[in-house]
Amino acid sequence: MPFPKEDMAHVKEPQQMPVVPRSWFLPSLFAAFNVMLLVFLSGLFFGFPCRWLAQNGEWVFPMVTGPLFILTFFSLVSLNFSDPGILHRGSVDEDPMMVYVVSVNQRAFRLQWCPKCCFHRPPRTYHCPWCNICVEDFDHHCKWVNNCIGHRNFRLFMVLVLSLCLYSGTLLITCLIFLIRTSHLPFSVDKIMAVLVAAPAAGFLIPLVLLLLIQAISVSTAERSCESKCRNHQEYNPFDQGFARNWYLTMCAPLSPKYMSEVVCLQRPVGTEWIYEKTQPLPLCPPEHCSPGPPGPSDPADPLGKGPRGGGEAVIVLKEVRKAEAPVGKSPGGGAGPEAGVPGLCITVWVPGELIRRLLKAFPSGAT
């Protein structure tokens, strides 16, 4: 049967690889550059001024700066790949005209509709335009790590800012002490490297300290960066539960399970289980009440069997059995059946005859 020219051109043309959008590539490259900058400056510090101090008996400097570097590097990399509290996307069947209102400490909040994620956002949930996701308890989008800061990674963000402040201050003080101790010595490579490390450390230290103070005030008053810009809580903040309680809920309270894992749990079947039943071999032409075999061109006769390949000499039928006291949603293999929960469902799986004969040869009838 001849194909139209449009279909032939569609079949012949190879599928092109998707092009990486620049809006995603450049921020990721900038975040990777920040990690490499931290490693590069730390390498210069530990290789030159810190090494000279350790060789002259000042072991306190590497003992203090070493753990701070490990903490800073670990928190920076972890924040790059952390989950800020992503809410799963809704369904197209959701009605955007529905109105949902929730109350938080005697203040009503109307849930806003997100047209991109197709669901009504809970309070303090915003859609990040850079990541194209809805984040619970959204604070801001950090371009330095190319990730959103929200409910699940805000405490990691605070650890990163605090460790960066301590590490930058330690680098600056150590380099200054090194330059003072070596002022009577001639100019060397160690002094050049100390200046190269001290200059960025001093430049980053002041903004980091200011950022740490701003975030500390936000946690104390239960405010968020995006809310302070929009001034949503003009009268009073219903999320404010006091200074100590705010710090506990932000930094120490246990986190709830991820929303995607809860969705998987909700999709598990309830009250049914599946059993396997092997039926007798079917004839070459199955009855009308059975499902036909997979479509395909007719193959020549199989010299070892009684019908064509893929003709379906045996089938495996999955039947649903309801039991009042049976375990919830368990299949014979121990996992949850993916098709459970649909009453009266029967699935017929067609197995090629050649595969059945190979299985019978490999596992005789007397084998367990």
The one catalytic residue in 114, 134, 142, 175 is: 142
Q: What is the pLDDT of residue 2?
A: 45
315 beta partners: 350
Residue 206: band (very low, low, confident or very high) from pLDDT cuts 50, 70, 90: very high
How many whole angstroms separate alpha carbon 45 and alpha carbon 193? 7
Q: What is the pLDDT of residue 109?
A: 86
Q: Strand ranges (DSSP E) for 136-195?
A: 140-142, 147-149
Do 315 and 304 form a contact (C-beta atoms < 8 A)?
A: no
Q: What is the pLDDT of residue 219?
A: 95
pLDDT digits (tens, 9 = 90+) for 308-322: 343 444 444 434 434
Highest-scoring range by mean pLDDT, 202-206, 332-336, 347-351: 202-206
Rounded alpha-carbon distances, angstroms, from residue 53 to 41, 104, 202, 267, 302: 17, 57, 20, 61, 82
Name the percent of the chain in helix, strand, coil, to the closest 5.
Answer: 45, 15, 45
pLDDT digits (tens, 9 = 90+) for 219-238: 999 998 887 655 555 677 88
How many whole angstroms separate alpha carbon 250 and alpha carbon 255? 10
CB count within 10 Å of CB 365 equals 5
pLDDT digits (tens, 9 = 90+) for 156-165: 999 999 999 9
Q: Is residue 365 pLDDT above 60, yes or no?
A: no
Active site residue 142: yes
Q: Is residue 325 pLDDT above 80, yes or no?
A: no
C-alpha 229 chain-centroid distance: 28
